[in-house]
Amino acid sequence: MMEEDRDGLLGVTAHTIRVTEAVRDGDSLTFIVISQKLSGSGEYHVARTHEDFQWLQECLFNPEEVPGILGVISPPLPAKPHLNAPTKDLKPLGFLVMGKDLGTYCKVLEIYLQQVAANTRLSKNKCLENFLTSPEAPGHQRVRKSIFNRLSQAMEGLRKEGHKDVDSFFQTERDNNFTLTGFSKTATERFVDVVLTEQKLAVACGHLSTCLHLCVEQRDDHAAQAFSKICVKLSGVVDSMQKNFENVSENNLSTLGLGLDLETRYHEAEKEMLFRRTCKLVELETASRNAERAKPIKKAAMDDLKMKSEKEFDQISGVAKQEIARFHSVHVMLLRQALILWCEKQLVTARETFTCYSQHLQAFRDLGE
Partner 1 sequence: MATSSERSPPPFPDSEDQEPEPEEVGDHDSDDGEDIFLGSDDLLETKMASIPVGDAPAKTQSDPFCDLFSEPLMESAGAPKAQMDFTEKPASEMTIGSTQDVIEVKRDIAKAPEVVTDAATGLSERDIISKPRLDVERKPGKESTAPMVDVLMEPASKTSTAPMVDVLMEPASKTSTAPMVDVLMEPASKSSTAPMVDVLMEPASKSSTAPMVDVLMEPASKSSTAPMVDVFMEPAGKSSTAPMVDVLMEPASKSSTALKGDSISKPSSTSVVDLLCEPSSDNVKESKPDILDPLADVIQTAPGRNAKAPFAAVTEEPTRDLFDDTPSNLFAKSQPSKPAKHLQTSIFDDPDEDLFGEHLGDALKKPQNDASKGEAAPVAKARHVRGPLTDNHKEEGTDIFTEGSVTSHPSAVNRVVPANSKTNGVQSDEEEPDIFSEATVELSLDSPRNDRKRKEVANPSAPPAAVAANVTKPQPLTLEELEEEESEDKFELNISITNPEKVGDGMNAYMAYKVSTQTTLPMFRMKSFTVRRRFSDFLGLYEKLSDKHAQSGYIVPPPPEKSIMGMTKVKVGKEDNSSAEFVEKRRAALERYLQRVVCHPSLLQDPDVREFLERDDIPRAHSTQALSGAGFLKMINRATDAVSKMTIKMNESDVWFEDKLCEVEAEDQQLRKLHIMVESLVGHRKELSVNTAGFAKSVAMLGSSEDNTALSRALSQLAEVEDKMEQLHQDQATNDSFCFAELLADYIRLLGSVRASFDQRMKSWQRWQDAQNILQKKRETEAKLLWANKPDKLQQAKDEINEWEAKVTQYEKDFDRVSSTVRKEVLRFEKEKARDFKKQIIKYLESLLQSQQQLIKYWEAFLPEAKAIA
The binding site for partner 1 (CB under 8 A) comprises: 176, 179-180, 183-184, 186-187, 189-191, 193-194, 197-198, 200-201, 204-205, 207-208, 211-212, 214-215, 217, 219, 221-224, 226-227, 230, 233-234, 237, 241, 328, 332, 335-336, 339-340, 342-344, 346-347, 350-351, 353-354, 357-358, 360-361, 364-365, 367, 369
| Phi, psi values for residue 124, rounded to 5° | -70, -25
| DSSP-derived 3-state class of residue 198 | helix
Q: Which of 68, 282, 271 is nearest to 164 (CA)?
A: 282
- 285 versus 357: smaller Cβ distance to partner 1: 357
The distance of closest approach from Cβ of residue 50 to partner 1 in the complex, given in angstroms and rounded to an integer, is 29
The distance of closest approach from Cβ of residue 308 to partner 1 in the complex, given in angstroms and rounded to an integer, is 34
User: Taking the mean position of all CA atoms in its chain, how far away is CA 259?
Assistant: 8
The distance of closest approach from Cβ of residue 309 to partner 1 in the complex, given in angstroms and rounded to an integer, is 30
- 58 versus 198: smaller Cβ distance to partner 1: 198
- 83 versus 196: smaller Cβ distance to partner 1: 196
- 79 versus 232: smaller Cβ distance to partner 1: 232
The distance of closest approach from Cβ of residue 254 to partner 1 in the complex, given in angstroms and rounded to an integer, is 16
Residues facing 350 on adjacent strands: none
| DSSP-derived 3-state class of residue 82 | coil
| Rg of the chain, C-alpha, whole Å | 27
User: Distance between CA atoms of 4 and 199, rounded to whole angstroms?
Assistant: 45
User: Distance between CA atoms of 347 and 359, rounded to whole angstroms?
Assistant: 18
The distance of closest approach from Cβ of residue 188 to partner 1 in the complex, given in angstroms and rounded to an integer, is 8
User: Distance between CA atoms of 351 and 290, rounded to whole angstroms?
Assistant: 69
The distance of closest approach from Cβ of residue 283 to partner 1 in the complex, given in angstroms and rounded to an integer, is 29
| Strands 18-25, 28-36: pairing kind | antiparallel
- 64 versus 221: smaller Cβ distance to partner 1: 221
- 263 versus 283: smaller Cβ distance to partner 1: 263
Exposure string for 339-351, b = 16+ CB within 10 A, e = fewer:
eebbeebbeebee
